[in-house]
Amino acid sequence: MSEPRAYRNFIDGEWVQSTGGRTCENRNPADTSEVLGVFQDSTPDDVDAAVKAARAAQRRWSQVPAPKRAEYLFRMGEILVRRKEEYAGAMTQEMGKPIRESRGDVQEAIDVCYYIAGEGRRLHGYTTPSELPNKACYSLRMPVGVAGLIAPWNFPMAIPSWKLIPALVCGNAVVLKPATDTPLSSYHLVKLCQEVGIPRGVVNFVTGGGAAVGDPLCRHPEVDLISFTGSTETGREVGRTCADTFKRVSLEMGGKNAMIVMDDARIDLAVEGALWGAFGTTGQRCTATSRIIVHKKVHKEFVERLVERASDLKVGGGIDESIEVGPMINEAQLKKVMEYIQIGRDEGADPVLGGVRLTKGDYGLGFFFQPTIFTGVEPSMRIAREEIFGPVVCILQADHLEHALEIANDTVYGLSASIYTQDVNKAFTAVRDLSAGITYVNSSTIGAECHLPFGGVRRTGNGHREGAAHTALEIFSEWKAVYVDFSGKLQKAQIDNN
């Protein structure tokens, strides 16, 4: 076997080794004997060099007209279209998701590039009449400065693009820290930045762990903004750390998303939505369907159909086009899921399907876990309240719509929710009353589109919205109010206007 390829950090326009000289392996979670590459295990000194490069480049980049900045991003989208299959295959190898999902991940990055490229000509401020004569008033968007971008492993190209592309069109320079499990997809994205000619120092890429890279990035005095996607526990620490230096912080964190199935729902459609929401990406989505709240009149029928369909899902290495559920990302995540299975059993819930690690044959090479369904779940149980982040779904019963909404909202999270019903009145009641940043009707809790805001309430985030929607511009830009007085004399607002 040939030696695995060695990848370097990208700092100030150069691909460089870490100052510490250490590296870490990027392995295939479907076959851990396969090393996909060797990446830098970076140090705080590497972070410092990247931040200083970004700081030096940011002012020059901000002076490039926004439409011209956008042209670089459009060209990135064009190249991504041509390399979609290549990058999707590499993503499936490093993250494990089925190849069809990886194509969707790359497609989302393409969509973000195209959408945000259009925003280069729409970084609108607004004008307003002055209360004084011969005076003009308007506002405009300014870049924040240097942005530290900390990305998760479950969408290793889509989510970095949500951060990188809006940050660049707004005139910021960036330091991107990819997840330690999936640096290759972010590498491809950064490589494109170099390929299309984004000036040196504007985009920097530093790989490594949270303690050595993420924490120093959050603490660095020359970083103006941190955009973080990950667990609520880590996000809390990111927020606390950034508060010391008054950084702007965007946090996108956990979820315990509920799907409501009413007694008038199309059961076949709801079952398909549940399968996709609970087991797509092996349940490793912040929007995954973790709870299904079923009206008591259709509970038995729904469970029987869901168990039957979930039993037929094909689990395996995602390069195979027929695979529907891939491996878990790593051993730690697998162990976490197995611990929650035991917690559920101890609480009295019934695992009517799954609940075991798959180890026979090729399954023993990776981190495979059977799709799992719990019934007999009560809202107070830990498995109904805590984020599991795996192919595990809990089914609860509700007496009526108001009861279902009460159960759905009984969580510290508030990212995504859905309802299946044929009654338009119930649908709009749920849209109004579900406490979630994203709400679906007759669809799963996953499948957000990039031109709408992405984010949630309560412990899911801190109020910002990611994605490529115009709301992402609020994260990466500052408002500046401008007053131009052409009266030729000193005018005192409010005082002269009495």
pLDDT at 469: 79
pLDDT at 496: 80
pLDDT at 494: 86
pLDDT at 17: 98
- CATH fold of 9-253+461-481 reads Aldehyde Dehydrogenase; Chain A, domain 1 (3.40.605)
Q: Model confidence over 291-304: pLDDT tens digits?
A: 999 999 999 999 99
- Whole-angstrom Cα distance, residue 497 to residue 418? 52
- CATH fold of 257-441 reads Aldehyde Dehydrogenase; Chain A, domain 2 (3.40.309)
Q: Model confidence over 179-212: pLDDT tens digits?
A: 999 999 999 999 999 999 999 999 999 999 999 9
pLDDT at 1: 56
Query: pLDDT means per 10 residues in the chain (498 residues)?
Result: 87 98 97 97 98 98 98 98 98 98 98 96 95 96 98 98 98 98 98 98 98 98 98 96 96 97 98 98 98 98 98 97 98 98 98 97 97 98 98 98 98 98 98 98 95 94 87 95 97 83
- Answer whether 9-253+461-481 and 257-441 agree in fold: no
Torsion angle of alpha carbons 421, 426, 432, 435, nearest 10°?
-60
pLDDT at 468: 72
**Quick count: other Cβ atoms within 10 Å of Cβ 228?**
28
The widest CA-to-CA distance across the chain, in whole angstroms, is 85
Q: Which residues contact 78 (CB under 8 A, 6 or more apart)?
A: none
Rounded to the nearest 5°, which phi and psi values hold at 175? -125, 115
Domain-by-domain residue ranges, the chain? 9-253+461-481, 257-441
The answer to whether 43 and 20 have CB atoms below 8 angstroms apart is yes
- Whole-angstrom Cα distance, residue 375 to residue 299? 10
Please spell the DSSP secondary structure of 412-472, one letter per residue. Answer: S--SEEEEE-S-HHHHHHHHHH---SEEEESS-S----TTS-B--SGGGBSS--BSSSTTH
Catalytic residues: 252, 286
Q: Model confidence over 361-383: pLDDT tens digits?
A: 999 999 999 999 999 999 999 99
